[in-house]
Amino acid sequence: MRLASLLIKELTQFFRDRVILFLILWLYTVEVVLCTYALGLDLRHLPLAVYDQDRTPITRSLVDGLTRGGSFDLVGYSADMTQADEWLQGGRARAVLVIPPRFTQALWRDETPGLQLLLDGSDANTAATARNYVVLAMQSLQGGADAGPPVQPAIRVWYNPDLTYTRFMVLSMIALAALMVGVIHPAATIVREKEVGTIEQLRVTPIRTRELFVAKTVPTLAIGVLSVFPSLLIVWWFGVPLRGSLPLFLVFTALFLLSAIGIGVLIAAICRTLQQALLLSFFGLFPVMFLSGTLAPVASMPGFLQYLSLASPLRYYMDVILGIFLKGIGIAELWPQGLALAGIGAALFGAAAIVFRRQQA
């Protein structure tokens, strides 16, 4: 009965706060769309200038192959290198393809023809991707210029056949939204009650610490799980398939939210003011994000950081969300991630309970 009354009180306060509800839905929908469009690392419509000194059908097919897929936009053929440099320095072009004289003759003689690509390296990721695109186009051109080897490799990319970064980005943004809501909201609400004194009134009642944690957890958990459904519309908008089980995804989302809420409750147990709680929340959010594999692959991190990333619940949730949506895997493959999320959440809530009890003593 005590727990039911406390839950009704917390849910009523939560759903009356329209600003919080709006911000949570904003994070799960509009923020996901904006970040996915803004942070996509796919090469799209890069301005390309060409200085073609050979002017043959082969060189024209090379340029057409580069610009046909939308990765490059041809801004023009320069008359000389001086004009090409001016276009690159002035920003009209981000890349300049320089094709030397007798390029086609060298290609037909089975020689290695020279080809120069000038790139604006102020954006290193874009420059590296553009270089790889041109290298692949050159390799395909060489393969079509002669008979080729007797055995041609057949390459098949699973789970993301068009190799777009958008699918990974939209799913990772949904995971980050869940993390931010799970950490910041319970931390802010509990500390706000500390500041206004209502937490002291609750302490003198028969309410136990675990009942207080449950009451603070349920509203955030409920809205976090419900926010998955508008997020599914965003996923559909970006063409990301759901190959696995939706109920299983909801279960793992609830487990992840519990671990994120555990971080928020622990922060609330430590902090005394709302300002401290917000600062400490962001202090904890960034390491959890960086060590999760959302911004950089875990395998590329130093060894000690790879071990440290095992404490990040977001790392396990990214395995879950990518596996269910893109690979269609189930509980047989994902139970270790579920066990890790449950263990992290239990440890965080246990630590928060110890801190609360010491403060009451």
What tens digit of pLDDT does each residue of 56-76 get?
A: 888 888 888 888 877 788 888
Q: Residues 239-257: what's their mean pLDDT?
A: 92
Q: Give the whole-angstrom CA distance, residue 194 versus residue 356.
A: 12
Tens of pLDDT, residues 91-147: 788 888 888 888 888 777 766 667 788 887 755 666 777 777 777 776 665 554 444
Name the more confident of 318 and 151: 318
pLDDT over 90, % of the chain:
10
Cα 130 to its chain centre, rounded Å, is 22
pTM exceeding 0.85? no
Give me Rg for the CA atoms of the chain.
Answer: 27
162-201 burial by CB neighbour count: b if 16+ within 10 A, else e?
Answer: eebbbbbbbbbbbbbbbbbbbbbbbbbbbbebbeeeebee
Cβ contacts of 108-116, under 8 Å, gap ≥ 24? 108/145, 108/146, 110/146
Identify the H or E element spanning 101.
none
**Which structure tokens are listed for 124?**
């290193």
Residue 127 and residue 88: Cα distance in Å, rounded? Answer: 13
Please provide the distance, in angstroms rounded to a whole number, between the alpha carbons at the two ends of the chain.
26
78 Cβ contact list (under 8 Å, min separation 6): 49, 50, 51, 84, 87, 96
Q: What is the sign, positive or negative, of the torsion defined by CA atoms of 267, 272, 273, 279?
A: negative
Query: Which domains occur in the chain, in start order?
Result: 2-39+164-360 (no CATH), 46-145 (3.40.1710.10)
pLDDT value at 199 more than 80: no
pLDDT at 357 over 50: yes
Average model confidence (pLDDT) across the chain: 80
The vertex-30 CA angle with 27 and 32, nearest 5°, equals: 65
- Bridge partner list, 77: 50
